[in-house]
Amino acid sequence: MSDAYTRPTTDEAAATATLPNFAPAPADEPVTSTHDPAERRKWSGDLRFMLVVLAAIVALFLAFALLIAFSPTGAAISALAIIAAPIATMVAAYYGISLALRQVKDARDAAAASESRARAAEQTARESDAWAAQMESGLRVAVAKLKAAGQDTRDVERAAGTPDDFF
């Protein structure tokens, strides 16, 4: 049997996108990092959040140190609460905003990925339709040649799974 009529089963774009490049870099070209820019952005976002939390902790530590150094009275504790509340609120607000922005970005990325999968599915469906049309055309030609040669085509029609009034 010839593979002239076989259906292609690989998606070249998907196959090349998932295969790693194991070829060594030429000696005259500088070796670049293979880290994903999205991973670097995620790390920088996490680093910013860690810095905000660290700054808040340092500010609260200084406030507690000042409270202990200058007598822990009721007024000092109230002053500490006045200092600590806005700092904690700002950290919580920053975390909430950065979490919401990350969720929006993840949703956009998921939408883009699903759109590309839908496009690939449409392309595959078009290729399947073209392949089916070619197979149908080939079957019709084969049946016509068999009928022209005076051969019985019932076995061919039955093997193809076509209805009786197909040809």
pLDDT tens sequence across 19-44 = 444 444 555 545 455 556 666 666 67
Q: Residue 152: which domain range?
A: 38-160
pLDDT of residue 109: 94
Domain count, the chain: 1
Residue 21 falls inside a structural domain: no
The token pair that represents 100 in the structure block: 């919401």
Residue 19 lies in a domain: no
* 142 in Cβ contact with 156 (< 8 Å): yes
Burial of 87 (0-12, 13-18, 19+ CB in 10 A): middle
Predicted confidence at residue 106, as pLDDT, reads 93
Q: Looking at residue 65, what is its pLDDT?
A: 82
**If you average pLDDT over every residue of the chain, what do you get?**
76
> Where is mean pLDDT largest: 16-25, 39-48, 66-75, 90-99?
90-99
Looking at the domain assignment, is residue 25 inside a domain? Answer: no
**How big is the chain by its Cα radius of gyration, in Å?**
34
- pTM, to two decimals: 0.46
Residue 90 lies in a domain: yes
What pLDDT does 127 receive? 94
Specify if 12 maps to a domain: no
- Token pair 């810095």: residue: 51
Asked if residue 56 lies in contact with residue 87, where contact means CB atoms within 8 angstroms, the answer is yes
What is the spatial distance between Cα 131 and Cα 6, in angstroms, rounded to a whole number? 9
pLDDT tens column, 123-167: 999 999 999 889 888 888 888 888 898 888 888 887 877 777 776
Say how many Å lie between the first and final Cα of the chain, rounded: 24
Q: Tell whether 32 is covered by a domain.
A: no
On the question of pLDDT at 18 being above 60, the answer is no
Q: Does residue 73 lie within any of the structural domains?
A: yes
Cα three-residue angle 87-93-98, rounded to 5 degrees: 130
Contact 84, 60 (CB under 8 A): yes
Dist. CA 40–CA 35, nearest whole Å: 7
Is the confidence at residue 62, as pLDDT, over 80? yes
Q: Which amino acid is at 59?
A: A
User: Which distant-in-sequence residues (6+ apart) come within 8 Å of 93 by Cβ?
Assistant: none
